[in-house]
Structures are given as structure tokens and as C-alpha cells.
Amino acid sequence: MTRSSLALRIGLAVAALTVLSALSVTGMALVSTGGQVRDDVDDFLEQRADEILDGVRLRPDRDDNRNNGRGRDADDEVADAGEIIEASLPRSSDLDAEVQTLDMDGVVTATTGLDIPVDDTDIGLADKGGGERLRTVAIDGVEYRVLTAPIPGGGALQVARSLETTTSLIRVIQTRLLAIGGGLALVVALVGWLMARRSLRPLGELTAAAERVAETKDFDTPIDVDGRSDEIGRLASSFNEMLGALATSREQQHRLVQDAAHELRTPLTSVNANIDLLVHAPDLPETERQEILGGVRAELRQLGTLFTEIIELATDDREAASHEIVDLAAVASMAADGVRRRASNPIDLDVTASPVRGDLRSLERAIGNLLGNAVKYSPEGSPITVRVSGGTVAVTDRGPGIAPEDRQRIFDRFHRGESARAQPGSGLGLAIVAKIVADHGGRTFVGDAEPGPGAVVGFVLPNA
């Protein structure tokens, strides 16, 4: 997915969340507002009912010489149903509510003009009294809030008020809240899209760089991190490290191929020459023929060993055996036993228990290569010493030693010093040692034998 589409999706997601939030807030606001408005209407109806029952809302021309239209004094009795007659009720234009009175049988005795519905519950209140009743009814398609209150002495008073104004108010509030929420959603979506686009710009550059590397196979052009320390910056840094590792791996592969081609050329040339000689000289003496065939076999064995070591070095995903606690002293003893069977040099062991975490087979191969290298450069019959202690393996030979200029490179692939060029071998034995040690988190070393002559070559692994 491209950067723009990802930014757009983030913007739309933010907008969707904003719309949901706006709808939730609008719904809660409408519920709260509707409840509050209805409570206000109910309070109004109760107040009007109390005023009418107390005579405060009676018409000024009512036949009542004691009050002269000023309402009742505190000492006057509350009006009963007979006193609240049609002439006592104001016209609908003089009152902000519709009023209706009922006798004890539920028959309407007075009204301001609106025919308020009367049901069995209202008739029960008019006959037997009880608590006030509030309800919502529909009259001629308009909703009204109706309060029915019993009149002392019998009958009931009904006060109603239209909810049309309230409903219109709530609709206006709903429309405005939705408009505000919609506008806010658009603004937030735009801001979210702009912020996402800006924040994801480095990710787009990283994507473009990855596509460029995939197309051009160019591992040498790093991505500009620009000092970022966030997740994208760390991703770019990791990508640069990966590019560096790929560049190094490709360089090592090219060098391995070139070095292998150089090393293979000599034995292949020798084998071809010997075979051509056998083909074109059928009358060679049997002794000379067998000598040539022995040389061919030796060259082929060397080629087989070389192929095996090249494959082992070139395969980065070798099957990694599970590491376990092993004793380097025991591993060194096993490797020494194997070398003794094919070498005439005595091998002296000076070992103490040294537990490390590693692969037994690989470590035995590493020590065996060190011993094989020591046998190759030691005079026949001269002793070779193996010392193991504290995670350190040191193999000492009695050969000519290693020149200082060669010590930094003896663990490189195919490297062979001047004194070693006449010796058989591929130049990969110590390179394999270096790789095994690196896989175990250790390091290699080289030095002079004391007392000389000779060299000390070995490695150090972390103690378990």
C-alpha cells in the first residue's frame, strides 16, 4: 500500500471515530435535554394546577366578594369542584396551559377548549382521589403533557401543555449538534490525513528505497535517518544495517568464488595434465603409470576436501545444533585421539575441566583443525601440546612459527603464508575454526611458542 492511501485510511479512521464520538455525545445530549425539558414541563403543570386549585388563577370577574379577584387568603378553604365552574376558568388565550375539570363521575364540567382525553385512571382519581398523574397523550396529531390532580371534595383537575415547542427545540438542537459533529469530523479527518501524511513520509521514503534495492540490487546507498529516534527512525536504521550486512555478504561471496576459482585451478590443471599424459602415452612403464594415477587420486582427494570446506563456509544457514553444556577438556581429548590415528607426532594434553555452552561436534572439528594445522607445520616426531583451561584452547607446535605480517590473516579464507605454500592443504582449515568460534560467541588468537620455535594458535569461549 502506498503512503497516500495509508494516510487516507488513517484520516478516514480518525473521521469515523470522530463521527461515532459526535453521535454518542449528540445522543446523550438529546436524551439529557429531552429529560430536562420534560421535567420543566412537568414542574410547570404542577405549579399551574396548584395555582388553579388555590384560586390564584381564577378570573378577576368571578362572583367572589371576599377576594375581589385577588385570589384567596391563606385562611380561605381550597376551592372544591363546585366552585371551579366553567365561568371560573380563563379563556385559552389568557392561560399558557389547557385546563379541564371533571366531576366525580369523570364528566367534563369545564374546559378552556381542548378536549383532554379522560380514561379510567382519571375517573378513579376524580372519584376516590389519590396522587397526581402525569402522562403524554396525542390530541389531533399533537403531543401534550397532561397532569391530572384530584380536587378535595371530589372531582379532578386536568392541566395540559403542548410538547410541540419542546419537540421543535429538541429537533433544532439535534440538527445543530449533528451539523457541528459533521463539520468537526471533516476537520478532524483533514487534520488526521495531513498529520498521517507528514508522519508517514519517512516510511514512504523507506518503501521507495526498498523497492529501489529490490530492482537495482544496490546495497551501498543507505537511507537518510535524519536524526529520528521514533519507530520509523529505528526501522530505517535497521534497514541500513540490513543493507550493510547484505553488501558485506555479497562481497564475501564474490571473494569466496574468486578465491575458490584460484585454488581449484591448480589441482584441476594437474589432474588434466596427468590424464592427458596417460591417454597419449599408453606405453608408459607400469611403475610410472601407477605413480601418475596415485598423483591423480591425491589431487582428487584434495579437491573433494576443498569442495566440502567451501560448501561449509559458503552456507550461512547451516543446521544449527542446539547448544548444551560441554567440557572443552573432554572435547580436546576426543579430537586428539582422532589426530593421533593419522599422525606420527605425539600430542600432549594439559587440560582441566572447562564447561562451555556449545555444539560438541563443531567444537571437536575446530580443535581437530587446529591440531591438523599444527601437525602440518611441525617436524615429524616433534610433540604438539594442547592446553585447555577456563574456556581457552591453545595448541602449540614446534614448527617455523608464523610471521608477524601473516598473523592478522591466518584465519582468512585461502590465506597461506610464504612458508606454507609448499605444504598441502586448501587454506580453509583455520577459516572454518574462526567461523565455528564466532558462532559460539568466542574469539581466536595467535602467538609465539615459549620457548620457541613454534606457534600458539587457539580460541577463547565464554564460560558456562
Are 108 and 27 in a shared domain? yes
Same-domain pairing of 237 and 95: no
Least confident of 76-80, 103-107, 211-215: 76-80
Q: Which residues contact 324 (CB under 8 A, 6 or more apart)?
A: 357, 358, 359, 360
Q: Please check whether residue 56 lies inside any domain of the structure.
A: yes
Residue 203 placed within a domain: no
Question: What average pLDDT score do residues 100-108 get?
Answer: 91
Per-residue pLDDT tens for 222-252? 766 666 667 777 777 887 888 888 887 777 6
* 308 falls within a domain: yes
CA angle 230, 234, 236 (to 5 degrees): 115
The domain boundary residue, chosen from 261, 294, 314: 314
Same-domain pairing of 138 and 61: yes
Query: Is the model more confident about 103 or about 12?
Result: 103
CA gap 271, 260 in Å, rounded: 17
User: CB of 292 within 8 A of CB of 272?
Assistant: no
Q: Which of 314, 348, 379 is the last residue of a domain?
A: 314
Q: Do 85 and 131 sit in the same domain of this protein?
A: yes
Answer yes or no: is 19 within a domain: yes
Residues 158 and 69 in one domain: yes
Residue entry with cell 529520528: 228
Q: Which three cell numbers stand for residue 426?
A: 586448501
Are residues 59 and 161 both part of a single domain?
yes
398 & 453 share domain: yes
> What's the structural domain count of the chain?
3
| Same domain as 156, residue 30 | yes
pLDDT for residue 93: 38
Order across the sheet with 142-150: list the strands. Answer: 108-111, 98-102, 156-162, 142-150, 133-139
**Are 239 and 157 contained in the same domain?**
no
What confidence tier does 14 reach under pLDDT thresholds 50, 70, 90? confident
Confidence band for 214, pLDDT divided at 50, 70 and 90: confident
User: pLDDT tens digits for 77-88?
Assistant: 444 444 444 444
Q: Are residues 86 and 157 in the same domain?
A: yes
Query: Does residue 186 form part of some domain?
Result: no
pLDDT of residue 329: 93
- Percent residues over pLDDT 90 in the chain: 19
250, 365: one domain: no
- Exposed, middle or buried: residue 356 (CB in 10 Å: 0-12, 13-18, 19+)? buried
Give the pLDDT confidence of 273-298 residue by residue, as tens digits: 888 888 888 888 888 888 888 888 87
* Full residue range of the structural domain in which residue 338 is found: 324-460
Greatest pairwise CA separation for the chain in angstroms: 164
Beta bridge partners of 456: 396, 447
Tens of pLDDT, residues 321-362: 568 899 999 999 999 988 887 778 899 999 999 999 998 888
Predicted pLDDT of residue 65: 33
The pLDDT of residue 75: 39
Assess if residue 105 is contained within a domain.
Answer: yes
Q: Is residue 175 assigned to a domain?
A: no
Q: Is the peptide bond before 451 cis (omega within 30 degrees of 0)?
A: yes
Residues 371 and 244 in one domain: no
What CATH number is given to the structural domain containing 55? 3.30.450
The closest of 227, 102, 231 to 158, measured between CA atoms, is 102
Residue type, 141: G
Q: Does residue 295 sit within a domain? A: yes
**Which pLDDT value is given to residue 157?**
93
Tell me the pTM: 0.43
CATH number, domain of 382, equals 3.30.565.10
Q: Long-range contacts for 200-205 (Cβ within 8 Å, ≥24 apart)?
A: 200/3, 200/6, 200/7, 200/10, 200/232, 201/3, 202/226, 202/228, 202/232, 202/233, 202/236, 203/3, 203/6, 203/232, 203/235, 204/2, 204/3
- CATH number, domain containing residue 237: 1.10.287.130
Q: What was the pLDDT predicted at 68?
A: 36
Last residue of a domain, one of 169, 190, 213: 169
